[in-house]
Amino acid sequence: MTSSDTATSDLGRFGYFGVGATPEQAQEIERLGYGTIWVGGSPPAELSFVEPLLESTSTLKVATGIVNIWTAAAKPVAESFHRINDAYPGRFVLGVGVGHPEAHTEYRKPYEALVSYLDELDEYGVPTNQRVLAAQGPRVLKLSAERAAGAHPANATPEHAAQARAIIGPNALLAPVHNVVLNSDAEEARTIGRAGLAHYFYLSNYVNSWKRLGFTDADVTPPGSDKIIDAVVAHGTPEDIAKRLGEYLTAGANHVAILVYGGPEKVLPTMSELAGPLGLPR
C-alpha cells in the first residue's frame, strides 16, 4: 500500500491535537485551514464523541490519538468505526496504541497484545488505510508501516521523525505530535512546557525514546533540562514556532499535529496566530 492509496494521505500538513474539542472549535480549526483534529486521551470503545465534530464540519478529518488496546475492546471499536465511516466516508482515522506500562497493571507483552488487537481489527473489517499506531520505538514504528497506514508519535523531535521515516519507509504515514507554547519569554514558555510535560518524565516509553535520541539521564530527570524542553516544546513567536514545526516536514513527516499548552483558552488564539506563518489556506 502506498500513501496515495490511503485515506490518511490527505490529513493536511498540520492539524490540532487536544482533548474535548467542541463542534465550534472544529468549525474554526477547519476554517483556519487545518486538515485534522486528533482527539487525545484514551477514549472508550464507543467512539460516538467524534460524530459531532464530523457533523459540524465538511472536510475536516477526525482521528483518535489514541484508543488504548487495554481499555477498549476491538469488536466495539470496530463497530463504532464502521458506523462513523459509513456516515462520514474517509473522514475518520482510528489511532490505536498500547498506552503506558505505568498506567496498566495488565501491561504484559505489549507488542504481542498490539499485534493481536490488529488481527481482531482485520477480522472485523477495519481497513489498514484508516488506522494508525501510536509509535515511538523502532519495533512499533516498523509494525505501523506493516499493519496500519503509519505512525503517530508524540513528544518527539524532527530528529526522531527522520529516524522514524528511515524505519517505516517512504510510503507510510508519519504524523507526529509537537507541543507548542505561544510565548516569546523563554523562561515563561519553559515553565508552561514543564507543567504540560511533567508526567511524561515518569513514563518509561517516552524516557527511553528520548534517550535513544541522545538525551542524557540529567536531561530526562524531572522536571527536565532546558535542552529537552526546548526540543519537544516549540515556543517563541508564531514565526519561530512555524519554523520548528516545518522542520518535521523537512525531516520526513507528512503531517504535524499541534498540541497547545497553557490552557484551553489558548487553543484557538494560538491556532489562529500560527495559520498564516504555517502557510495554511484560509
Q: What gap in Å lies between CA 254 and CA 169, rounded to an integer? A: 12
d(CA 41, CA 220): 23
How confident is the model over 157-188, as pLDDT tens digits?
999 999 999 999 999 999 999 999 999 999 99
Other beta carbons within 10 angstroms of residue 268's beta carbon come to 16
* pLDDT for position 42: 85
pLDDT of res. 205: 87
Q: How many CA atoms lie within 13 A of 177 on its CB side?
A: 25
Q: Which residue has the cell 540529567?
A: 218
For residues 199 and 181, the answer to whether their CB atoms sit within 8 Å is: no
3-class SS letters over 88-102? CCCCEEEEEECCCHH
Per-residue confidence (pLDDT) for residue 173, from 0 to 100: 97
The confidence score (pLDDT) of residue 273 equals 98
Residues of the chain with pLDDT under 50: 1-6, 102, 104-105, 107
Domain definitions of the chain by residue range: 3-275
Residue 122 confidence (pLDDT): 98
Residue 23's CB is within 10 A of a number of other CB atoms, namely 14
Radius of gyration of the chain (CA): 18
Position 49 scores a pLDDT of 94
User: What is residue 4's predicted lDDT score, i.e. its pLDDT?
Assistant: 35
Give the homologous superfamily in CATH for domain 3-275: Luciferase-like domain (3.20.20.30)
